[in-house]
Amino acid sequence: MFYLKKLYKTRKANVIPGFGLSMGITITMLSLIVLIPLFSIFVTLSGLTFAGFWQVVTDKQTVATYKVSLSCAAVASVVNVVFGILIAWILTRYRFPFRRMLNGLIELPFALPTAVAGIALTTLYSDQGWIGGFFDKIGVKISYTTTGIVIAMIFIGIPFVVRSIQPVLEKLDPQYEEAAAALGASRFRIFLKVVFPEILPAALAGFGLAFARSIGEYGSVVFIAGNIPYETQITPLIIMNKLEQFNYTAATSIALVMVIFAFILLFGINLIQARINKIARG
């Protein structure tokens, strides 16, 4: 009897047959899609000295692009978290006409070609555009400024936040909110003390994904950003400029810096999420 129970547990753990085969396929796909492309960066830079690498990545114009890309991505990601929570809340807690259509439109930035999105945003927010023209009359310029860059990054990053938070809100038991309301808590306090701690890890994940996507985005941002050195020039644009000049080593060096930025951000957010989950359990 004991042997049968042990055999049942072993078979139950191995739902997918062939652990060795499954693991081999997983590692192979991961290597082909992620590890080998990243390793090729180091292979390309193998003939470059550290002094040469440092000179490329600390060039004044390149450093200016870091500041533009990172600052605009940070602002856009914070805005996406705020409005992403609001949109996810509306989609999960309310029933209204065309709700499914709105839910589908959230993923439009995923399906829309980035160049098309960039052209559409530039047309809309240019000085002669529907929205940009209105703001231009009151002295506010959007296109070819950091404001335009932030708007483009918000457009491409909002789906990450909404899709990260939405499943958590759908699974959240409303009984906790009802109990808090029965005890006399206000709606804001219920959200702050009951709902927000549950969605915080998901919001952080959405923030990290939106931030990482924003700093590496090219097509949606380049049209509305323009190419003004030290003002609106983004890092992906200067990488493309290096590639057009056949300076592959410089382009790869700058790309490596962006990979490091994204890795540090995602690693830090994972640590924060682990810390929050540990506090919630303990």
Give a yes or no: residue 2 inside a domain.
no
Q: What does the pLDDT read at residue 282? A: 62
| pLDDT tens digits along 232-258 | 899 999 999 888 888 888 999 998 898
**pTM, entire model:** 0.83
Domain count, the chain: 2
Give a yes or no: residue 98 inside a domain.
yes
- Same domain assignment for residues 38 and 79: no
- Same domain assignment for residues 208 and 251: yes
Alpha-carbon distance 70 to 66, whole Å? 6
- Same domain assignment for residues 185 and 271: yes
Give a yes or no: residue 13 inside a domain.
no
Residue numbers of the domain that contains 37? 18-47
The CATH number linked to 180 is 1.10.3720.10
- Same domain assignment for residues 118 and 38: no
- Same domain assignment for residues 229 and 255: yes
Query: Does pLDDT of 99 surpass 80?
Result: yes
- Same domain assignment for residues 34 and 161: no
Q: What does the pLDDT read at residue 4? A: 46
- Same domain assignment for residues 128 and 218: yes
- Same domain assignment for residues 72 and 211: yes
- Same domain assignment for residues 158 and 172: yes
Give a yes or no: residue 90 inside a domain.
yes
- Same domain assignment for residues 217 and 259: yes
Give a yes or no: residue 12 inside a domain.
no
Q: What is the share, in percent, of the chain residues with pLDDT greater than 70?
A: 93
Evaluate whether 271 touches 204 at the Cβ level (below 8 Å).
Answer: no
Give a yes or no: residue 82 inside a domain.
yes
| pLDDT tens digits along 40-86 | 777 778 778 888 889 999 999 999 999 999 999 999 999 999 999 99
- Same domain assignment for residues 71 and 133: yes
Give a yes or no: residue 8 inside a domain.
no
- Same domain assignment for residues 107 and 39: no
